[in-house]
Structure 1
Amino acid sequence: MDTNLLKTIETIYDCVGNQFDHQKALRSFGLAVDNTGLILTEIWPLIGKANVLAVHNIPEDAVKAMISSFVSIENNSMLQNLPKIPVGVPVLRRAFVSDEEHFASAMYKKTSEPWELHSEGVSIFSKGLISVIACGFVRKPNQSEINAETISRMAIISKHYLKAMKIHTKLDRLQTALLSSSDILDLVDFGIILYDKNKEIVQVNSAAQRVLDKMDGLSITKSGLKIFDREAQKEYADILDANFDNKRAAASLNGGLVTVKRPSRQKPFGLLTIPMDISNNDTNPRGIATLIFDHSAKKVTAIKHFATVYGFTKVESRLALEIAQGTSLEEYAQKFKVSLHTVRVQLRALFSKTGVTRQGELVSLLLRSTSGLNLK
């Protein structure tokens, strides 16, 4: 493959973005095939409508005449033969309409004869139930007929043009999905910070942003989430490192819980980190979600349902609620005037009913229940 052809293909892929730059892509396409005239059009055959996406080296009046020819299928040989034309393969007009029939047609007299255009053809870029995207090509009177080499180059470039358009469509859908997910995440009243597989923060919901704006123990920097409490920062960094470790099996990636002290001396934040969307190779998660629970502001209303599911007694439910809100066992004992031994007996009962073995695991389970999210 020659250098000019590679450069054209590279240019076409560079045109993928918020808006696909068809004009830049089509110009590069045309120059790479001996400056052949090109017109890229989206056509709605059933309603007789067409929209020009880009044009290269075709007279303006000829373009207008070509567009008007799509008003009626009966007068357009390309539309009449559309089912026979494969996608992504440049096809010369004479492949589906004889020269004699073409030169006698009203379409030729309207769209080609006034400008002495010849070597007409088309490459179909997409066929849908409603619309078609077609790249028509023609040669001017001072240009030779399209030869086999030019057709081959057109076929190669058409293939990559189609791929670039598909990539653009996927990116556009992804962007729409991300915007929708952002709106949904803003509905919940706990903070959510999402990391991508490169360990970079890609999304922060409104609740998390409100917490970060207070600068009460948490903030965002270029390197990620910053925790003022050094011990908690190290613990959090270790959790992230462990879950982004390619050498660890997916089954061992459980996230973790970090308690963050606050300069305001209010109840500490709870940071629950969860691996998301485990990849098919069973080694590395695609990303990480960190949930931020502000126990001084949030009411844990889901604990009642959680307690019913696991069969907690009234006293056990009260202990579970306090633990989820960041209350230590010592604080709980003082608050409800019971011995620490009694609290530990109740805690062991919670362990038994939920199937966990440590307090951190219990808190993680409680917070997952409270959030109502399944991010794995």
Structure 2
Amino acid sequence: MDYDLLVDAIYEAGAHPEQWDGVLALLTASFRGVCAAMHIGDVSSDFAFGATYRLNPEASDAYAKHYFAINPLNEPLTRVPTGTAVGDNQLVPRAAYHGSEFYNDYSLRFQLNGSITAVLENRDGHVSCLGVVTATGTDPHSPDEVAAFQRLIPHIRRALDLNKQFAGLKDRVALATSGLNQLDFGMAFLDTGGTIVAANTAAEAIFSANDGLRAVRGRLRVSDRAVQERLNYVVDCAARGIGPRGGSLKIPRAGDKPPLFVRATPFRGEKLKDMKEVRVVLAFRDPQNSTRGGTDLIASAFGLTPAEARVLRALVDEPDAKKIADRFDVSLVTVRNQIARMLQKTGTTKQSELIKLVLTNDIPIL
């Protein structure tokens, strides 16, 4: 048995769970086995994991459906302390095991004999374990083999702890990514040199539109040279923590479209080991989409009717009630009455106050 090779493989599996199959293969070869299986279930969390090596699918199915319940090794295994290796002959006398229904109907049918098992966790009778199974006719595992298996258990348990931690981190990353992708404005994370490390869905959509702000080989680019210099400056200030420590600017777009508004700020989060260091957070939004969230928020919060909400959205772009009436093909009196009801519902007294309420209460849309 190459102990160092086994330990190295175990810790590789701690970082990459898909490699546990390889660990089971090495253990099977090292401990006279024909197959191996591992089942991990943490009763204190939702973490669960399993892996097998050369386990006959028919045998696995039969065991799960019937023979697990009559396996004479299961009950004594629940009394084995956490972190202990044990041979099957230590759990049940060999003669009693060979006389059991489990051995004669299951083990002999699939040419399986005894096993050596590592109890990785035993909490209130819930056992997580790893076992190597030998072929029919082989001798029980010797005390030296059980002792060698025992030496590996601390490494296996540490590797599984790493699996749990990485699984939790992956869940947190997935949650954070999903949250960023639900924002209705763009966010991009840049390194010290201004290269994009990551960006949310809204940002990628703006880049892909090639309308004002775009990404070229991972760098932010605009068509106007002066604006590009200003963008580089605010990003550099945010990245290096100098001058105004970031800043804002507007990026012109083609035609009559309003400019994109961009803000660069220093990144104050944790440094991540496996990716470029993030130094800058860039947020940007299309003004054409920015008031929708504010009007919907006010409409929902103050109980505006759909017709009132429609007029409120129009007011943000066009404060002339007559033009709004013409746009919606309704009377001027109707629009004025709707504005009056909105003032009453929102507690504002002037049309300008109502518009300000929209513009200053735009919670990002998720």
Superposition pairs of residues 112-261 of structure 1, within 5 angstroms: 112=107, 119-126=114-121, 132-140=127-135, 145-194=140-189, 201=196, 203-226=198-221, 229-242=228-241, 256-261=246-251
Given that 1:226 and 1:233 are in contact with CA atoms closer than 8 Å, whether structure 2 keeps it comes out as: no
Cα displacement string for residues 270-303 of structure 1 (whole angstroms, at most 9, x for unaligned residues)? 2242534458xxxxx9875322133454229769
Amino acid paired to 2:86: V
Change (3 A) 1:216 1:43: closer
Change (3 A) 1:227 1:158: farther
Amino acid paired to 1:124: V
Which secondary structure does the structure 1 equivalent of 2:18 belong to? Answer: coil
Alpha-carbon shift at residue 116 of structure 1 (Å): 7.5
Amino acid paired to 1:299: T
Aligned to 1:94: 89
Superposition pairs of residues 36-47 of structure 1, within 5 angstroms: 36-40=33-37, 42=39
1:270 maps to 2:262: yes
Change (3 A) 1:217 1:35: farther
Alpha-carbon shift at residue 202 of structure 1 (Å): 5.2
Amino acid paired to 2:204: Q
Which secondary structure does the structure 2 equivalent of 1:193 belong to? Answer: strand
Give unmatched runs, 5+ long, in structure 2. 42-48, 272-276, 298-358
Cα displacement string for residues 83-121 of structure 1 (whole angstroms, at most 9, x for unaligned residues)? 312334321123332334333333333344567865533
Alpha-carbon shift at residue 40 of structure 1 (Å): 1.0
Which secondary structure does the structure 2 equivalent of 1:85 belong to? Answer: coil
Given that 2:188 and 2:281 are in contact with CA atoms closer than 8 Å, whether structure 1 keeps it comes out as: yes
Given that 1:218 and 1:225 are in contact with CA atoms closer than 8 Å, whether structure 2 keeps it comes out as: yes
Aligned to 2:18: 20
Given that 2:293 and 2:364 are in contact with CA atoms closer than 8 Å, whether structure 1 keeps it comes out as: no
Change (3 A) 1:88 1:225: farther
Aligned to 1:108: 103
Aligned to 1:5: 3
Q: How many residues align?
A: 285
Which secondary structure does the structure 2 equivalent of 1:27 belong to? Answer: helix
Which secondary structure does the structure 2 equivalent of 1:139 belong to? Answer: strand
Amino acid paired to 1:242: G
Change (3 A) 1:293 1:6: same
In structure 2, distance between residues paired with 1:302 and 1:195 = 29
Alpha-carbon shift at residue 255 of structure 1 (Å): 5.7
In structure 2, distance between residues paired with 1:177 and 1:170 = 11
Amino acid paired to 1:234: Y
Given that 1:29 and 1:157 are in contact with CA atoms closer than 8 Å, whether structure 2 keeps it comes out as: no
Which secondary structure does the structure 1 equivalent of 2:179 belong to? Answer: helix
Given that 2:28 and 2:34 are in contact with CA atoms closer than 8 Å, whether structure 1 keeps it comes out as: yes
In structure 1, distance between residues paired with 2:129 and 2:140 = 21
Cα displacement string for residues 38-62 of structure 1 (whole angstroms, at most 9, x for unaligned residues)? 4315499xxxxxx984134x77877
Amino acid paired to 1:189: D
In structure 2, distance between residues paired with 1:93 and 1:8 = 22
In structure 2, distance between residues paired with 1:54 and 1:116 = 17
TM-score scaled by length of structure 2: 0.58
Aligned to 1:55: 53
In structure 1, distance between residues paired with 2:214 and 2:38 = 50
Aligned to 2:321: none
Cα displacement string for residues 16-74 of structure 1 (whole angstroms, at most 9, x for unaligned residues)? 6887244333112222x244344315499xxxxxx984134x778776665566442xx
In structure 2, distance between residues paired with 1:68 and 1:268 = 62
In structure 2, distance between residues paired with 1:193 and 1:131 = 46
Amino acid paired to 2:178: D
Amino acid paired to 1:235: V
In structure 1, distance between residues paired with 2:270 and 2:260 = 30
Change (3 A) 1:128 1:276: farther
Amino acid paired to 2:4: L
Given that 2:117 and 2:131 are in contact with CA atoms closer than 8 Å, whether structure 1 keeps it comes out as: yes
Which secondary structure does the structure 2 equivalent of 1:40 belong to? Answer: strand
